[in-house]
Amino acid sequence: MSFRYPNGKLYTAAKHAPSPRPTNRGNRGMRLEDDINDSISYYRNRKTAVIHKKPTPVQIVNVDYPARSRAKITEAYFRQASTTDYNGIYRGYHLDFEAKETRQKQSFPFKNFHDHQLNHLAAISDQGGCAFLILQFVESEEIFVIKADVFLQLKEESTRKSLQKSVIAAHSVSIKRTYTPPIDFLPAVDQLFF
Amino acid sequence: MSFRYPNGKLYTAAKHAPSPRPTNRGNRGMRLEDDINDSISYYRNRKTAVIHKKPTPVQIVNVDYPARSRAKITEAYFRQASTTDYNGIYRGYHLDFEAKETRQKQSFPFKNFHDHQLNHLAAISDQGGCAFLILQFVESEEIFVIKADVFLQLKEESTRKSLQKSVIAAHSVSIKRTYTPPIDFLPAVDQLFF
């Protein structure tokens, strides 16, 4: 089965399939999210950090209670989220971030970011939290971790519809994909915030 | 419309009705949650703290896309949450809490707390976060804010199936219902953690 989340992201049952992961382009889109989910689970198990992905917000309209089986939601709608997808605690600090990817090769389109996500990250930053973005260029497999306030400043100053990769690279920490965890972003957080 | 969440909590459309709120006992059960939601919204607007309630986790199985209308989820199931309902940032610190109420008059039953909630609060506490519980005795309208590690210690030491109100009162900060916000719990957090 497959369906699209309101953000246009494709959900496919395949993404929950065991390794080896499908490597065709259609599924590559979900790999960043999967790998981050695996990474935060690894961090939780090691007690390095407690970070969770927020559930997709859904407005429930009708629920059936079939005899001898669990409650079944038969009518519900996607709601607009008001925060980012990820938050938690690390070294006593509040972390909050969003992970995004693009198939563009040289720049990251601003349209990939929703206002509610950027406003939320700005609010977290203002409160003294560690707010950041994990940005992946799918084609080159490059991953950057950038502070939310730096990104917002660059977006503010930009006259384009996207942020050039060279600019991102100059203002962020680049990370490599590994195995345990797949995306080891906490050392980048150390470097950016501590 | 109304239905029950997996925790047995009754959802009624009435809880979203404008004031004056229904005051019959059946609806009183949702008042704590509503009032906390109003309070965190007040804190966000004032930029005192950024706290959000997490969406109810739902496993989506099927989605319809009726022509010219928004996506409709036609089959989904409640999933077990792995965290508490509320978290956020205040004075640069990570906050994480759960709100519970009981109709018992003299003690708070331990069965009101799920293992995943208590384990999560313990993990947050271990990471140096401010983990706590907001406990309401519905009949007397008394509300207490207690640190999660203190509560867990008292639970550990208890030979009963519930924690006596007098014990809770001796180890927590009592708060009064007000209007703006309805449950002003941050001063209690100041007192307990700072």
Residue A127's closest chain B neighbor by CA?
B92
Q: Which residues of A touch B129 (CB under 8 A)?
A: 50, 89, 92, 94
Chain B residues inside the 8 Å CB shell of A123: 44, 47, 50
Structural domains in chain B plus CATH codes: 8-55+81-193 (3.40.1350.10)
Find the Cα–Cα–Cα–Cα dihedral A109, A111, A114, A120, rounded to 10°.
40
Q: For chain A, where are the alpha helices, taking DSSP H only? A: 25-28, 31-45, 115-126, 148-157, 165-170, 186-193
Q: What does each of the 194 residues of chain A score in pLDDT, given as a tens digit?
A: 567 776 666 666 544 444 444 444 444 456 899 999 999 999 999 999 999 999 999 999 999 998 888 899 999 999 999 999 999 999 999 999 999 999 999 999 999 999 999 999 999 999 999 999 999 999 999 999 999 999 999 999 999 999 999 999 999 999 999 988 999 999 999 999 99
- Checking if the pLDDT of B90 tops 90, the result is yes
Q: What is the ipTM of this complex?
A: 0.84
Neighbours of B54 (CB within 10 A): 17
Check pLDDT > 50 for residue B24: no
Express each pLDDT in B71-82 by its tens digit.
999 999 999 999
Give the nearest chain B residue to A131 (CA atoms): B89
pLDDT score, position B97: 98
Q: B153-178, pLDDT tens digit by residue?
A: 999 999 999 999 999 999 999 999 99
Q: Which three-class secondary structure state does DSSP give residue B48?
A: coil
List of residues 6+ apart from B69 with CB closer than 8 A: none
Task: Specify the pLDDT at position A15.
Answer: 45
- For A87, name the nearest residue in chain B, comparing CA atoms only: B88
pLDDT at A132: 98
**Chain B positions in Cβ-Cβ contact with residue A70 (cut-off 8 Å):** 77-78
pLDDT (0 to 100) of residue B18: 41
Interface of B with A in 30-89 (CB under 8 A): 44, 47, 49-50, 52, 54-58, 60-63, 70-79, 81-83, 87-89
Of A54-63, A98-107, B26-35, B92-101, the range with the lowest mean pLDDT is B26-35
B126–A47 C-beta distance less than 8 A:
yes
- Contact (Cβ atoms closer than 8 angstroms) between residue A193 and residue A163: no
With beta carbons less than 8 A apart as the criterion, state whether A40 and A52 touch: yes
- Would you tell me which residues 2-41 of chain B have a C-beta closer than 8 angstroms to some C-beta of chain A? 3-4, 6, 11
CB B80 within 8 A of CB A55: no
Q: Which parts of chain B fold into alpha helices (H)?
A: 25-28, 31-45, 115-126, 148-157, 165-170, 186-193
Using the beta-carbon criterion (under 8 Å), do B49 and A127 form an inter-chain contact?
Answer: yes
Half-sphere exposure of B40 toward its Cβ, with a 13 Å CA cutoff? 20
Q: What is the pLDDT of residue B139?
A: 93
Mean pLDDT of B115-121: 97
